Amino acid sequence: MSRALYTAATGMHAQQLKIDVIANNLANVNTDGYKRSRAEFQDLVYQTLRTAGSVNTQTVDVPVGIQVGLGVRPASTPKNFEQGDIKNTGNLLDVAIEGEGFLQVRLPSGEVVFTRNGALKVDAEGRLVTNEGYEIEPPIIAPRDATQMNIARDGTVSVLTANSERELEIGQIQLANAVNKDAFESLGQNLYRMT
């Protein structure tokens, strides 16, 4: 009887994890650049009570064995990095990544992490940063006399300055590709670290 209760408990734990993952996906439905997760499971070891081909009587072989599964366990919660819907926000600095790729972001610790959240801003020092103030990598810094910044479809960043009527190109947003996106560790704030 205790084996049945343990097996049932593993199923309840698995379903709770699945509900937790779905709830987090629903909570982030309006989060810029959020990538949904899904729960994956695998069965646990089986206890063999009788092997197939064993002798039932002195002369009869049993064609089918008896195995009892001991439940289920979570295997992984991979992210789905497919491109989402593109919405026009009206903000000249918001970018959408079409297809594969990630923006590279430098944390205050110096570590470079990845995101698909393209809601960008300019900080007090003229640097192109995320909503959280993390600088994109490679850095793009506007001159102090810049009056407007624009980002072209190819990621080229240009500015208008107070002393010029022509746009001045100051850099290009570069995307990074990941060979194994399933190896990403979620850090929160739509940031991912390669493990």
- Token pair for residue 161? 């300055």
pLDDT for the residue numbered 1: 61
Residue whose C-alpha is closest to residue 92's, from 157, 154, 164: 157
Q: What is the pLDDT of residue 67?
A: 87
C-alpha span between 89 and 91 (Å, rounded): 5
Distance between CA atoms of residues 32 and 116, nearest Å: 8
- What is the DSSP code (8-state) at residue 99? S
10 Å Cβ neighbour count for 134?
A: 20
Per-residue pLDDT, 107: 96
Which DSSP symbol is given to 61? B
User: pLDDT digit string (tens) for 6-42?
Assistant: 999 999 999 999 999 999 999 999 888 889 999 999 9
What does the pLDDT read at residue 62? 74
Give mean pLDDT, residues 46-65: 78
> What's residue 2's pLDDT?
84
